Structure 1
Amino acid sequence: MLLDGQTPLDDILGAIHHVENKAPCDPMRHIVATSVVSHGVDISELNFMVLDGWPASTAEYIQSSARSGRTQPGIVMSILSAGKLFESGVFLNFGDYHFFLDKLVDSVPINRFAPNVLQRTLPGVFTAVVYNWAKFQHGWGDGLNRSASQLHKALNDATGIARQKLRGMLIEALDVPPIVQSRFDIRVLGAFRKQLDEEVNRGLHRLQNLSAANADKDLGTALESIYQFGPMRSFRDIENQVEISPLDSKSAHVLHALGR
């Protein structure tokens, strides 16, 4: 089975469906493909890959090699040419190349250190912590529900235990895990943690001193008044949606195939 840039989209989708649903006695055991399958093709049955040559970029190499071993351990064999300077360099520095692999690709546009990322993510994490953890904490979380006034009441308890426990859990939920801390610049990490501490304290302080206007609102709405953004309930909440309309019947066919 051969898949390349000239293969119609329906044929590619059909090939994927064939591989995913083939009978044990089916003789088809190999797929020969270009980079057309390096993005978005997640087939659990593909566990052994042979890369003929080196992809044009590190990002493409990561995408291509990641097609193998999606659910089970996979093997990727790279066939490199000694006559190509870059490929011979990869061969001679194979271990170092893979050690620094994540440093050799462009950063994603949105990451945990992006501007305003805490204001967008903290409301959702905050509500998740309250709904799925805090309300099960004996003594101070028993009365918590979706109402902002109940959390306001708990935060104003004289013992201060609700604020202390919530603050600790929110910091832990959004902080960089210790196992990967060494991968980040300590200055960037320090600035992020300072901002995280400030934003969590700001939310707890505002909820502790909840205004009468927000007392009867649900927690998500109250957090939106604090952080300007409410909890994201789906990927549609990330940004305003753009409607895509097909130009002609061929475009309509492509959009239909992508939506399958």
Structure 2
Amino acid sequence: MLIDTHCHLDFPDFAEDLAGYVARAEAAGVKRMVTISTRVARFEAYRTIAERFPAVWCSVGTHPHNAHEELDVSAEQLAKLSEHPRCVAIGEAGLDYHYDKSPREAQAQGFRTHIAAARMTQLPLVIHARQADEDVIAILREEMAKGAFPAILHCFTAGPELARVGVELGLYVSFSGILTFKTSEDLRRIAAAVPLDRLLVETDAPYLAPVPFRGKQNQPAYVVETAKTLAEVRGMSLDEMAGVTTANARRCYWKMDHAAPVAQVA
């Protein structure tokens, strides 16, 4: 069994055959998927998908690209929405200095708001960090000193220092299909150093399809390929790595094992 800890099943790429994508994932051994929020305003779409499929769960939050659009969303509002039984995480939120689609001040404000919600609920914060290692580290250290909160460094592509600090602060580190790329030697070295009990795998579908599907639309079923590469990096079998990452994901997304079944929610 594997868990795709981060995908975007609400995106138009999946609209024509969403049930098919979910079924193919389950057939590949991916028994749980978490569809991640990019806009709080779209929460109904995420929870509807999670209510429809027993294998799918969701989060609530604002992607840093959209931070300036939802600065009025409070930590209390995020916490309230996260009470939905199929919602298992806060985010994704964080800092993206590669595209800078939202002013950096807005990204930082949104990041801190989401951290506050994660602290309030003890649901994991899904962190987006791109080319902003120093500022992410600074905010994490400052905020963790105010009170602990669980979090995931999702689709990890940053440097070893952010990985080291993240682990030091108790965060999980999630690897996507980028880990399988020929040019990702440095990333594989980081993956080799992360403690086993902090490792997660994800697709970030529909983006970043792993080898041998690189260049095609990604889907949750393909998380198997990332898990294979991670297993090779750690000198383990795929079954062993699946067991490790699934146990980690269930511990991180603890609400999965405590929520009501889909039938009761619907």
Shared fold (TM-score, shorter chain, > 0.5): no
What is the TM-score when the length of structure 2 is the normalising length? 0.25
For the pair shown, the structure with the greater C-alpha radius of gyration is 1
Q: Which has the higher contact order (CA 8 A, sep 6+)?
A: 2
What is the TM-score when the length of structure 1 is the normalising length? 0.26
Structure with greater strand share of residues: 2
